[in-house]
Structures are given as structure tokens and as C-alpha cells.
Amino acid sequence: MSHTSRTWGRKSSFWVAAAVVVHTLWTSAAPAMMYPLYARQWQLTPTVTTLIFAVFPVFVVATLIALGDLSDYIGRRAAMLWGLTASLTGVLLFAVAPDVTWLLVGRAFMGVGVGLSAGPSAAAVVEFSAPGKAKLAGAITTAAQAFGLAAALIMGGGLIQYAPFPTRLSFWVLVAVLVATLVGVWHLPRHTKAESSKRWSLKLPQIHKPLRRMFLVSVSAVLSAYSVGATMLSLGSQIAHDLIGSSNALVNGGAISLFAILVGFTGIVAKRFSSRLSIIAGASFSIASLLLLMLATATHALPVFLLSSAASGAGYSLLFMGGLNLINAHAPMHHRAGTLSALFLVAYLMQGVVAMLLGRAATAWGLDLAIDVGSLALAGLSLGAMLLAIYVREPQKPSTDQAVSSTQPEPGR
């Protein structure tokens, strides 16, 4: 297929790339409010419902291992088109699923789609941003994730409660969103100077040697953020249902969406924070949120759960933004998407592990004990991210080619 003559300018391309970031969290969280319905409809245990969640990060990780740096060679646009197409396939399978097998296959396609597009979209937001606005790009990426998550939870809860076809309709809405995003991505510049002139070959993700210390700090922060997020997305609706005592899916979804709202709000308010300050503050909020979650499950106090949800959202935002800004500041342009993909690889792998372990623990020990043990472990993870941010120093000078490149098509390409 030939690329049409109309191509977006820098500003429009920036917002289209942000829309692809929105899709990564919307697609990830789209089934979150459905898990109790699936459990009742098909008599599923918590282990099976968390398996539906965990299949997603497993396939994200597999895709990132095989294809994580693909967009550094074929271009952000092409990689995002392939990713959105895979996500669209997965969402369509959820929209028509007659049994749990279809859900598992659909989650696999969603994982491939997000694996192909997460790194390229985050890199594209940086590269299409105005010169000198790399920190703003990190804040917009964080806010875009929050918007996608909130849309999945609030819209999902509302349609479940008040619209027909509760396990279908929200996926058809997401299908329409993905089709519109595909059209937007189609009109992005075909090539930019961020692409490598070398040929792509299948290889494991690699970290540019001068980046490795910063990558360790960054990955510890993002890993901690995604692990806390996994707790909310895999078990949050069940926790909210138990604490609120309401069968209203919109109310339950609204309680969980406080997490997403604080992700976006904090990302905007704290956009000028240094990476180190973001990570230290984010780890502090995450530890507080996990202790509050333990208290909420012990006392069945809704206000405490809401405080936990808000604190975890602030912690996620600060940890993710701090880790992302470290990579944006120091990664050479021809290694940027590969480095970001390696970052997401570790984060999604941990997300899948956390979801599965929490699900098995909830089945074997009960929800309260599973939350207690998991919260203490994740608090330790956040503490580790904080200590790394305090003691590992950033290089005095960032890489010489860190500057955001021109995003207009190169001559002759």
C-alpha cells in the first residue's frame, strides 16, 4: 500500500503518538472491570481470572525480546501500525468471545500489539516534541497512560452497569478508538532521522554500555510502578467490591479509577521534578499506598482504600515519569526505542509475575493474606528503587546525540 500524500506536521504527530500511548494502557486495562462477570459467567477461580490478565504481559515481554528495537530500523510509524493492528485483533476477539479460550488468545494479541507499539510510541512522543521539551514529553506520556487507564475503568464500569451487552460493548467502543488511531498513525511521517541506517536483525534487547547504570535506576523505578499497577488492575475490582459492598460496576470502577486520575494529575503537576526527586517521592507514595492497602483489607474501611488508590496513583506516576525521563535524557537517538523497549520488557514481565502470584495466593490463602504478603514484598521493591535513585549518580553530561531529532522525512527516503 502506498503512503498518501498528506502527512501530519510535528505538533499533530506528537498528539497522534500520545494517542498510541493511550491505547497501550486502555488495551491493557480494558478487561479489568469484566473479571467478576467472567468469573460468574464461566465459574472461574481467581487463578484463572489473573491468568487472563497475566497472558498479556507474557506476550508483551515475548514481543519485546524478539522485536523490541524494530522501530529503530523500520521507523516508528511502521512499528505502531503493526502494533495497533495486533491490538485491534485482540480487542475484536474479546468483543465476540464465547468462552475463556478466546479471551486468552485475545490477550495474547493485545500483548503483541502493545509490545510492538509501547517503545515506539514513547520514543515518538519525545521525537515529535518541541526542542528542549523532553521532560514535557515524559509528563505527556504518563498522562496519556493515565487517560487510557481511566477510560478503560470508568467507561467499562458505566457500560457494564447501564448499557446492554456488558461484556461486549466496551470492546466495540475500543475497536472504534483503535481504528481512528490507526488512521492517525497512517499519516505520520514515514521516516525520521531517529532511524538507524543499518539493517534490522533478530537479537536480544541490548543496553548501550554508557547507559547501564542509569538503566538500572530507571528500570527499578518503572518495575516498581508496574508492579503496584498490577495489584490494582488484577485484583482491584474484587477488592473494591468487597470493601464497598456494592454491585454497581460504575461505583466500583470509579473507586479504582482514582488511581488513574492521580496518575495523570501527578504527571502534570510534577513535570518539572528532576528524575531523582520523582523516583524518591514516587517510592515514598508507593510504600504508603501499600501500607494503606493492608490496613484497608484488614478493617474493610472504604476511605482507607480510596487513600491507598490515590497514593498508589501518585506513586506510579512519579516512579514511571522519573524512570522514563532518565532514559529520554541519556539514550542516543538510534538506541532510544530499543532501550525503552528493554525497560518495558522488564516492567511487563514483573507485572505478569506479580499478577499470577497474587492470584494464586488469593486462591490458596484468601484475599486478605495475599494482599498483606504482596504489599510487603512490593514495598521492599519500592524501597530498593528509592535507594538506587539516592546513591547512583547521573553522568555529568548526557550523550551527545540525545537531542530530539528532526521528525520531518529525510531527503531521498
CATH of the domain at 68: 1.20.1250.20
Domain of residue 282: give its range: 10-187+205-391
Which of these ranges, 12-26, 53-67, 175-189, 242-256, has the smallest mean pLDDT?
Answer: 242-256
Residues present in the chain in total: 413
The answer for residues whose C-beta is within 8 angstroms of residue 362's C-beta and 6 or more apart is 46, 50, 235, 238, 370
pLDDT, one tens digit per residue, over 184-213 is 999 998 765 555 556 655 666 666 676 778
User: Which pLDDT score, from 0 to 100, does residue 72 have?
Assistant: 78
Between the alpha carbon of residue 272 and those of residues 86, 136, 391, the distances in Å are: 35, 8, 21
The answer to whether residues 358 and 231 touch, using CB atoms and an 8 Å cutoff, is yes
**Of 342 and 134, which is predicted with more confidence?**
342
Q: Which of 164, 28, 221, 166 is nearest to 109 (CA)?
A: 28
Amino acid at 293: L
Residue 195 lies inside a defined structural domain of this protein: no
Q: Which of 351, 385, 281 is nearest to 59 (CA)?
A: 351
**Of 58 and 4, which is predicted with more confidence?**
58
Residue 315 lies inside a defined structural domain of this protein: yes
Residue 400 lies inside a defined structural domain of this protein: no
User: Which pLDDT score, from 0 to 100, does residue 313 have?
Assistant: 92
**Of 198 and 20, which is predicted with more confidence?**
20
Cell readout for 319 is 516512579
Please give the average per-residue pLDDT across 266-277, as a whole number: 88
Helix (H, G, I), strand (E, B) or coil at 198: coil
Residue 2 lies inside a defined structural domain of this protein: no
pLDDT, one tens digit per residue, over 32-84 is 788 878 888 888 887 788 788 788 888 988 888 888 778 878 888 999 999 99
Q: Does pLDDT of 143 surpass 70?
A: yes
Residue 271 lies inside a defined structural domain of this protein: yes
pLDDT, one tens digit per residue, over 78-105 is 999 999 999 999 999 999 999 999 999 9
Report the number of distinct structural domains present in the chain: 1
Please give the average per-residue pLDDT across 123-138, as a whole number: 80
Residue 401 lies inside a defined structural domain of this protein: no
DSSP-derived secondary structure for 375-400: HHHHHHHHHHHHHHHHHSPPPSS--T
**Of 67 and 132, which is predicted with more confidence?**
67
Print burial letters for 327-348: b (CB count within 10 Å at least 16), e (below 16).
bbbbbbbbbbbbbbbbbbbbbb
**Of 131 and 180, which is predicted with more confidence?**
180
What pTM was computed for the model? 0.75
Print burial letters for 177-198: b (CB count within 10 Å at least 16), e (below 16).
bbeebbebbbbbbebbebbeee
Q: Is 400 exposed, middle or buried (0-12, 13-18, 19+ CB in 10 A)?
A: exposed
User: Which pLDDT score, from 0 to 100, does residue 199 have?
Assistant: 65
User: Which pLDDT score, from 0 to 100, does residue 314 have?
Assistant: 94
Q: What is the C-alpha radius of gyration for the chain, rounded to an integer number of angstroms?
A: 20
Q: What share of the chain is helix, strand, coil (3-state, %, to 5)?
A: 80, 0, 20
Please give the average per-residue pLDDT across 217-234, as a whole number: 85
Cell readout for 109 is 494479541
Residue 399 lies inside a defined structural domain of this protein: no
User: Which pLDDT score, from 0 to 100, does residue 61 have?
Assistant: 83
**Of 321 and 50, which is predicted with more confidence?**
321
Residue 5 lies inside a defined structural domain of this protein: no
Confidence grade of residue 410 (pLDDT, cut at 50, 70, 90):
very low
Distance between CA atoms of 272 and 261, rounded to whole angstroms? 19
